[in-house]
Amino acid sequence: MSKPKHPRGLNETEAQAIVRNLRVSPRKLNLVAGLIRDLPAQQAVATLTFSKRRIAQQVRKALESAIANAENNHQLDVDRLFVSRAEVGRAIVMKRFHARGRGRASRVEKWFSHLRIVVAEREQAAGPPTAQEAA
């Protein structure tokens, strides 16, 4: 017997990509994630491509993975995708020491983060009614 299938936590019009243990602090990663929230997918990729932040390239790879998941696994229209959520969470913290004067030491904390990007398909934009609909 196998264990029961886990129900899908997303809507039918959503796809996600998760990156675990990124070597950047959550505060810095959240600044980059804030750049792409609620943007169309292609515009978010362009924003991350030209960002000066070091971690932006790994966030871009995660976003492209979420777009590929939407297209290949869930048959969503790539042209209508937008970044509905970009969630940042804390991961492990490596603790190191820094030698100080007079034989003392101080702690250096090296933070890691988790990133979850959810892309969703926008509904069709409601344009002006056609002549047939108005009649």
DSSP 59-80: HHHHHHHHHHHHHHTS---GGG
Specify whether the CB–CB gap between 117 and 16 falls below 8 A. yes
The reply to whether 71 falls in a domain is yes
pLDDT band at 131 (very low <50, low <70, confident <90, very high): low
CB atoms within 10 A of CB 65: 17
**Per-residue pLDDT tens over the stretch 20-76:** 999 999 999 999 999 999 999 999 999 999 999 999 999 999 999 999 999 999 999
In a domain, 31, yes or no: yes
Asked whether residue 116 is assigned to any structural domain, the reply reads yes
| Counted domains in the chain | 1
2 pLDDT higher than 90: no
Q: Note the pLDDT of residue 1.
A: 74
Answer yes or no: is 88 within a domain: yes
CB 88 within 8 A of CB 115: yes
Q: Which domain holds residue 39?
A: 14-122
pTM of the prediction?
Answer: 0.87
Q: How do residues 66-102 score in pLDDT, each as one tens digit?
A: 999 999 999 999 999 999 999 999 999 999 999 999 9
Residue 126 has pLDDT above 90, yes or no: no
Question: What's 53's domain CATH number?
Answer: 3.90.470.10
pLDDT at 5 over 60: yes
- Confidence class for position 124, pLDDT limits 50, 70, 90: confident
In a domain, 134, yes or no: no
132 assigned to some structural domain: no
- Specify if 42 maps to a domain: yes
Residue 135 lies in a domain: no
